[in-house]
Structure 1
Amino acid sequence: MAYRSIVSMAAVALILLVFIAIPSGARPIGVVYGTQGNNLPPPNEVVDLYKSKNIKAMRLYDPNQAVLQALKGSNIQLLLDVPNADLQSLASSPSAANDWVQRNVKAYVPDVLFKYIAVGNQVIPGDQAQYVLPAMKNIHSALSSAGLQNEIKVSTSIATGREVLEQYSPPSSSRLSSAASTYLGPTVQFLSSNGAPLLVNLYTYRNYIGDPNHIGTEYALFTSPTTVIQDGQYNYQHLFDTIMDAIYVALEKLGGSNVTIVVSESGWPSADGLGASVDNARTYNQNLINHVGQGTPRRPGKAIEAYIFEMFNENQKPQGAEQHFGLFYPDKQPVYQINFP
């Protein structure tokens, strides 16, 4: 009997270990669907491509009605942007915000799985920063009136350059610019009170090309074999984690310790730039997919939701590396092979 009890206890322990080994709260990896190209496939074919590659989430920069129609019944989660050009009108008019939600969200529920509304993209700090929080509040109120406030969270996307994050390494010394803090302080309080994440466009590539003599490709591509930054008890091998934890520290200083970060853009170009190559783009994006389930040194095991930039190479973007962030060519052939979980 004692032997059987020991065996049973061992079996239970093994089962528990198996469950512990499975990442809790695993979140989907999404891909940004940009439309700045005159040779891109029609939206229904794009949605079919997402599904065939097991891509579970999409970011869309504007409420393109053809894309929203194509998403119906797809089970692809959607991060939908309020275009920057609409911020002022939505900030000043609750009725305009209500119309926007009715036309671009409520009309498609429940056939389209809206998850987040990004009110503005990289406008903090800047001339339009003053409109972000009022527009967020009006969109949130419109979603509440439609009974959708618990299903769809309202946020905004910020960059991680020096105009926002003046100091990021080591993360414990993280410092936001005064211009960004002015607007992010009350914005973070709004996010905290509504259980919404902060959306962050995080490109280690930008940091790398800005200081290639000090930021090596291994540190930027998730391939460093050893610790690069030691920050007290926290060890950093990957620049991505360094920037993520710097933002978490900044959020804590703003009273937003309960605010989660969603990486609304991240990627690496495959051509026409310093360090831009097919091999580096494949390495970065595959390692990003493989890494986000692990969390960061300050948030170990807390899976990170992330959106790869982007689905296609777009020929109407500025010349250079900006045209080469795509996972696919416009003919739907892969720029390189990548595996989604």
Structure 2
Amino acid sequence: MRTVNIFYVSVTGLLFFFFAGVDSIGVCYGDVGDNLPPAKDVVGLYLSKKIGAMRIYFPDHRALEALRGTNIGVIVDVANSDISTLATDASAAFGWVYANIVPFSNVAIRYIAVGNEIIPSDVAQFVLPAMHNIQNAINAAGLQNQIKVSTSVSTGVLGVSYPPSAGAFTSDALNFLQPIVGFLSSTGSPLLANIFPYFSYIGNPSQIAIEYALFTSPGPVVTDGQLQYQNLFDAILDAFYSALEKVGAGSVRVVVSESGWPSDGGQSASPERAQTYLQNLIEHVEKGTPKRPGNIEAYIFAMFDEDKKQPQGTENHYGIFHPNKQPKYNLNF
């Protein structure tokens, strides 16, 4: 799942969406939609709005060409369908890196995400071998100090998330994650995690206050030992850190590779709530969590609505720009 949403604001004509000075925030480049602008124009939009980072869900050469020399930080995903081949054939992994990464040495690629939300699954067994093979190829290219290899997981890997200090991985996920986080620890790579308080809220609205989900609670809602939580985002992120600590990987950083709130298509999905969530997320990431103060690197989903995604629902309503590159929402920093 990917995310980002904000609300339709009409303010006498022009809408403004500024990312200036917010190095911790990126935006995912969702492109499963009609009438979207060419990659060169999209990268120009990132630059004009001072959006400092991008996630692409496959090695899109058009986007990578347009990113040359821009200093926009990039997460490049390995498509889920390619992972088994890259895991079982080291030469295929070298070919992937030398075709999709090495030619773009003047692109600020930060991470390679080996799969998106496939732990646990039938393909999960291939994630770590593919990570090793890609890492070896990155090392051979001399890019190991520039690019970190990881994988992106959903909050579904957490069997326990409340209170945050009790955070723990499910046994099914842990079978795959235990060696993966060992790899991340040894290479200094972060774990990529897609965190959506929206789904936690709609799954339990009688127990979770909307204010807690939207960063608008006037005071602490959850007390966990000496730590107090005023928003659900922090609680979920710290549950990930607690889960990592329990498996001896407390030094592994978590990068929030997707987050947002839908503006339509489902329960509690509205432009106003999406606007509120995104605005508050942007303001919050520089503060960190109760357990881990400091900057949070987070990626909002996504630049454009993706009307071709199936099944139809909230996934179609995360765009922050119209296809004509006009902003849909007003976010202030």
Same fold (TM over 0.5): yes
Cross-structure match for 2:10:
none
Cross-structure match for 1:305:
297
1:275 aligned partner, one-letter code: S
SS at match of 1:46: helix
Cross-structure match for 1:16:
none
Shift in Å at residue 206 of structure 1?
Answer: 0.9
4+ aligned runs moved over 3 Å, structure 1: none
Shift in Å at residue 27 of structure 1?
Answer: 4.2
In structure 1, distance between residues paired with 2:34 and 2:23: 32
Alignment partner for residue 85 of structure 1, among 70, 81, 87?
A: 81
Residues 275-296 of structure 1, C-alpha deviation per residue, up to 9 Å, x if partnerless? 1111111111111111011111
Shift in Å at residue 175 of structure 1?
Answer: 2.1
- TM alignment of 1:1-341, pairs within 5 A: 27-110=23-106, 112-161=107-156, 164-300=157-293, 302-318=294-310, 319-339=312-332
2:136 aligned partner, one-letter code: S
SS at match of 1:100: helix
Contact 1:63 1:80 in 2 (8 A): yes
Contact 1:270 1:324 in 2 (8 A): yes
Shift in Å at residue 267 of structure 1?
Answer: 0.6
In structure 2, distance between residues paired with 1:323 and 1:205: 15
Cross-structure match for 1:7:
none
Shift in Å at residue 38 of structure 1?
Answer: 2.1
Contact 2:93 2:134 in 1 (8 A): yes
1:332 aligned partner, one-letter code: K
Deviates more, 1:67-76 or 1:302-311: 67-76
Contact 1:251 1:257 in 2 (8 A): yes
In structure 2, distance between residues paired with 1:231 and 1:71: 43
Aligned sequence identity (%): 56
Shift in Å at residue 321 of structure 1?
Answer: 1.4
SS at match of 1:81: strand
Q: TM-score, normalised by structure 1?
A: 0.89
In structure 2, distance between residues paired with 1:327 and 1:38: 15
Contact 1:278 1:335 in 2 (8 A): no
More helix by share: 1
SS at match of 1:141: helix
Contact 2:24 2:295 in 1 (8 A): no
Gaps of 5+ in 1: 1-25
Residues 228-274 of structure 1, C-alpha deviation per residue, up to 9 Å, x if partnerless? 11101010110001001100000001111110000000011111221
Contact 1:27 1:304 in 2 (8 A): no
Gaps of 5+ in 2: 1-21
Question: Higher relative contact order by CA 8 Å / sep ≥ 6: 1 or 2?
Answer: 2
Shift in Å at residue 322 of structure 1?
Answer: 1.0
Shift in Å at residue 34 of structure 1?
Answer: 1.1
Tell me how large the CA RMSD over aligned residues is: 1.1
Residues 97-156 of structure 1, C-alpha deviation per residue, up to 9 Å, x if partnerless? 11100110001112x111000001001001000000000000000000000001000000
2:62 aligned partner, one-letter code: A
Contact 1:61 1:83 in 2 (8 A): yes
2:176 aligned partner, one-letter code: Y
For the pair shown, the structure with the greater C-alpha radius of gyration is 1
